[in-house]
Amino acid sequence: MSQLLSEVLDVTFRTLYISGLATVLSILWSLPAAYLLSFRQRAGLLEAVVESLVGIPTTLLGLLLFMLFSSSGILGFLKLLYTPQAILIGQSILVTPILISTSYRVLREVVSPYFELALSLGASKIQAMAMILRESVAGIIASIIMSFSRAVGELGVAMMVGGNIKGFTRVLTTAIALGVTRGEFEAAIILGVILLALTISTAIAVKVLMRLMRS
Amino acid sequence: MITIELRGIWHRYPGISNWALKDISATFSSGKLILVSGHNGSGKTTLLKIAALLYRPWHGEIIVEGCNFWKMNEAEKIKIRRKITYVHEKPILLRGSVFENVAYSIRIRGVDRCDATEKAESIMEELELIKLSDKSAKELSAGQSQLVAIARALVADPELILLDEPFAHLDTRKSKLLSQALKVRRKNGVGIVFASHSRGKLPEDLEPDEVIVLEEGQIISKY
């Protein structure tokens, strides 16, 4: 029992670590991209491309990354296949469209009026940007939560480039898939409940944090 | 003392073929009270935003302190913009309290917290907003929001203030307060530009030095 618990904890912490880091990594390019996109008068085509990528099948992305990271692939020399880093890169790419798309929708409503307001009060461009981010923080945090949930819940990338190696690249989704394959439904259900609880509690924690910040 | 000279300004909005402003030439400067009048859609707001250096016109020049504003570098633009403030007809307030909103304009100018508090409180006293100081800006009525936005503009001691329909949401008491505050600024040499449907919307004690009448983006009379 204690071994099962320690395995569950190990898988859970690895999932949190990889998906959390992948989301943070994606923020680095997704938020600036969304910010720049929100200033464009005609962003229809770009918006459509990004939105269509939101639903990219994780197995397809996993396959593409597998081909890149495999020993005969372009990035094979990096020896990333079947490592946590490969999952991290894959998940950060996976959540990029959703993060850009959802934060763009938030920023699009805020950028124009608040940028104008900031300039009219004598703000510099950096001060204007700070104002815009401050005003859209709730929406952006919601986008980040959605992206994190997508990363935590994906299977294709983690399975294909992570390889589901026990104690190394096994995460909640791959562990559930393995449990079902082996007919270990009890363990799979426990892991499924943890996965669900994880995403819900993250959302609640952030909401509470934001309320505290506001008060 | 600041003078903004608009020379042959043409402006239109992206995706719209009609010109919002056609060949506008006008001068706005410190110490003068100008009323920009016209019907809805005549181009009043666009003209004020161009004069407030918020919109870059499609054609024409804006001369400020002898130079073309849109050819200045970023630091010079900020320096000029800090002498002017513009208040929209439907003001946008920031998250946070009334005090935070009013103090914002001076905080971004690097004024320290103590001085910023003193100045913000003084202007809030003047416009009778002090009781609302800790109230969330999102909980205010339209008239209160308008006054807070104007207080936020005035607190920075601008040399030129452009107000789009400033009395639209104000009751008699608040109109008097604002009118009094603007009279004091006018006496101190601040330039004031109003946009309004008609002259009748302005309080009687704020007699404009000049009236610019717009129709379909063109100046049809100046007197």
| C-alpha span between B110 and A199 (Å, rounded) | 42
Sequence-distant (≥ 6) Cβ neighbours of residue B142 within 8 angstroms: B169
Which region, left, alpha or beta, applies to residue B110 given φ > 0 means left and ψ of -120 to 50 means alpha? left
| β-bridge pairing B191-196 and B33-38 | parallel
What is the nearest CA distance from B98 to chain A, expressed in angstroms?
14
Residue B7: its H or E element: strand B3-11
Question: Pick from B55, B38, B54, B50: which is nearest to B7 by CA?
Answer: B50
User: Encoding tokens for residue B35?
Assistant: 């009323």
Cβ atoms of B186 and B135 closer than 8 Å? no
Question: Pick from A134, A93, A80, A100: which is nearest to A32 by CA?
Answer: A100
CATH T-level fold of A2-214: MetI-like fold (1.10.3720)
Cβ atoms of B37 and B214 closer than 8 Å? yes
Q: Give me the residue spans of the domains in chain A.
A: 2-214
Closest partner residue to A124 (CB to CB) among B54, B78, B153 is B78
Picking from B94, B106, B148 by the largest number of A CB atoms within 10 A of its own CB, the best residue to mutate is B94
Closest partner residue to B94 (CB to CB) among A122, A131, A214 is A131
Give tens-digit pLDDT for B91-142.
899 989 999 999 999 999 988 889 999 999 999 999 999 999 999 998 899 9
Averaged pLDDT for residues A112-125: 92
Which pTM value belongs to this model? 0.81
Give tens-digit pLDDT for A134-173.
888 888 988 998 899 999 999 999 999 999 999 999 999 9
Sheet containing B218-222, strands listed edge to edge, beginning at the edge strand earlier in sequence: B84-87, B160-164, B191-196, B33-38, B210-215, B218-222
| Structure ipTM | 0.89
Q: Give the pLDDT band (50/70/90) at residue A212.
A: low
| C-alpha span between B168 and B142 (Å, rounded) | 9
Neighbour count for residue A134 (Cβ, 10 Å): 13
